[in-house]
A and B are shown apart, each in its own frame.
Chain A
Amino acid sequence: MLVPILKQGEYIIASIQSELSDADLLKLRDDLVRRVSEFRSRGVIVDVTVLDVMDSFATRTLRSMAHMIMLRGAETVIVGIQPEVAFSMVQLGLKLEGVKTALDLEEGLTLLDNRIKKGDKKLGK
Chain B
Amino acid sequence: MENEVCIPINSEFDIVTARQKGKEMAVPLGFSNTELTLIATAISEVVRNIVEYARSGELCLNIVREGDKRGIAVIASDRGPGIPNIKLAMQDGYSTGKSLGLGLPGAKRLMDEFEIVSEVGKGTKITMKKWVQKNVR
Whether the complex brings A and B within 8 Å at their CB atoms is answered: yes
Encode B40-75 as 1/0 by CB contact (under 8 A) with A.
110011001000000000000000000000000000
**Which chain A positions have C-beta within 8 A of B130?**
none
Q: Interface-forming stretch among A3-11, A16-24, A40-48, A107-115? A: A16-24
Q: Interface-forming stretch among B1-9, B95-103, B121-129? A: B95-103
Contact B109 A93 (CB under 8 A): yes
Q: How large is the interface on B (under 10, 10 to 19, 20 to 34, 35 or more residues)?
A: 20 to 34
| Nearest opposing residue in chain A for B110, CB measure | A91
Partner of B38, one of A19, A63, A91: A91
Interface residue count for A (Cβ, 8 Å)? 25
A30 within 8 A of B: no
Q: Which A residues from 15 to 59 make CB contacts under 8 A with B?
A: 19-23, 52-57, 59
Shortest distance between the CB of A84 and any CB in chain B (Å)? 4
Give the A-binding residues of B (Cβ under 8 A). Answer: 12-13, 15-16, 19-20, 23, 33-34, 36-38, 40-41, 44-45, 48, 92, 94, 96-97, 101, 103, 105-107, 109-110
